[in-house]
Structure 1
Amino acid sequence: MRPDAIKLRSVSKRYGTGGSTVTALDDITLAFPAGTFTAVMGPSGSGKSTLLQCAAGLDRPTSGSVRVGDTELTTLSERRLTLLRRRRVGFVFQAFNLLPSLTAAQNVALPLRLAGRRPARSRVREVLCQVGLGDRAGHRPSQLSGGQQQRVALARALITGPEVLFADEPTGALDSRTGREVLALLRDLVDTGGGTVVMVTHDPVAASYADRVVFLVDGRVSGELKEPSAGEIAAHLTTLEAGEVAAHLTGSEAAGFGAAGKATTC
């Protein structure tokens, strides 16, 4: 049995106070085993990004427990939490967040420099080669395509050897071909490198690269699929979104929705 790289227990996250309180996560218990690739999906506003932020230590839950390996995140000071993020987790987002004045190699080395460590050129070259950019080390972001910039961002996330890589819509700004290349790299991190990847996405094709897909609705876990096809994921999402629309209809509206069997959503 694989140990858990990340475990959330009874995690809730609320914003605001009194009558204006919004519950983004509602008593979620969920584990991400080491050496696996998990995609998190759900309708807009279901709590996907909030889940990722709490699991990665970017935000603190209102209640509950979050553990990275054997470390409880909710009791750490801000300083220790920052150190944990720098040393044990990696992040890739839809926006590449590269510094335009730095070369690819300098962008990759940045997390180590921020941590007060001297990056070895051989290590920087190694991770750039790992993402297929060994010959682009001296190029600045403006000299790279969108897919290449996302690869640099991925190499930057890998430079510290993180236990878990969190990806929030990593292919959202890419065309389908370069998106597939980035997803193949994430898949290889798990299959060849034994890494753990947790990815938020709205794209069924992207999610099909994962070992399992966890679905959220209204801040709660609403089932999962293991090794599903893109078609199976899309069908499940359609069912969830239809159910969410029906849940917000009342009386004759709900009856009409059921009779029609479908609804138009934004």
Structure 2
Amino acid sequence: MDDAVRLESLTKTYGSGDSAVTALREIALSFPRGSFTAIMGPSGSGKSTLLQCAAGLDRPSSGRVLIDGEDIVGLNETELTELRRDRTGFIFQSFNLLPSLTAEQNVALPMRLAGRKPKRATVLAALAQVGLEAKAGSRPSQLSGGQQQRVAIARALVSRPAVLFADEPTGALDLTTGRELLDTLRRLAGGPVPAQPGGPGGETRVTTTIVMVTHDPTVAAYADRVLFLADGSLVGELRAPTAEAVAARMTDLAVAR
């Protein structure tokens, strides 16, 4: 299977000796191209550490992380920076848009900071992927919270990354806006969703690999599968998840602890 990301025996330990804390234990996972995976677990389960190691933001203590088939663990800081810029994208709770720049300028900014001059068509295509091409000239203050987060997604997509990492992407959004954002992520991963008034809808041939950390079963249910972590270990997987099934699994984990 063609994997955008693969983790092999991934272990992460903080500290040493008696004070050592193992955040991840021998994790073996693959994220196929075009898949949408949610990662869940109790507080302290290791889900954020897993995301950071998989994205090259933190180095594992042992094991391998392969993005596009390349083992990134042995890369130096310059090589890692280039990989993160060119082959991965990131979405966080905060939108991190510059208020003085338009949506188009915000999307183009990372490439400009890297010394590149992005083609306007490429930037507009990224905005079109999230249904915001018509808002290219709007500043953040002229956009809703959901639209701002979609600009942040377009910014992450403009370099056409192999994988898009999302850390609680709906955390700063209300329920309705959060659902609209999740519909956008479903489209990017190639999944059909109902058309939204004033926005894109239906099938799409765009396929982006998405790895998302969330604590919300309703949010996780938008993914193709949900992975469950506990005490740094992978303890379960749920495919074609429903919010109810995810919530029940999380309850079981809490009881087991």
TM-score (norm 1): 0.88
> Is it true that 1:231 corresponds to 2:244 in the alignment?
yes
What do you get for the CA RMSD once the two structures are aligned?
1.1
Superposition pairs for residues 58-207 of structure 1, below 5 Å?
A: 58-191=57-190, 192-207=205-220
Q: Which amino acid aligns with 2:217?
A: P
1:214 aligns with 2:210: no
Q: State the partner residue of 1:263.
A: none
Structure 1 range deviating more: 16-25 or 218-227 = 16-25
Q: Matches of 1:67 and 1:85 in 2, distance apart?
A: 13
Q: Unpaired runs of 5+ in structure 1?
A: 245-266
- The DSSP-based 3-state class of the residue aligned with 2:134 is coil
DSSP-derived class of the 2:133 partner: coil
Q: Displacement of 1:120 after TM fit?
A: 1.3
Superposed displacement of residue 88, structure 1: 0.7
Deviations 1:120-149 (A, max 9, x none): 112212221221222222222222221111
Amino acid corresponding to residue 78 of structure 1 in structure 2: E
Structure 1 runs (4+) greater than 6 angstroms displaced: none
Q: How many pairs were matched up?
A: 243
- Rounded to whole Å, the distance in 1 between the matches of 2:140 and 2:106 is 9
Of all paired residues, the percent bearing the same amino acid is: 63
Which segment drifts farther, 69-78 or 112-121? 112-121
- 1:175-207 per-residue CA deviation (whole Å, 9 max, x = no partner) reads 111111111111111113122111101111111
Provide the rounded CA distance (Å) in 2 between the counterparts of 1:188 and 1:158. Answer: 13
Give the deviation of 1:74 after TM superposition: 0.5
Q: Output the CA distance in 1 between the equivalents of 2:15 and 2:141.
A: 40
* Partner Cα separation in structure 2 for residue 27 and residue 116 of structure 1: 38
Q: Contact 1:111–1:160 at 8 Å: present in 2 too?
A: no
Larger radius of gyration: 1
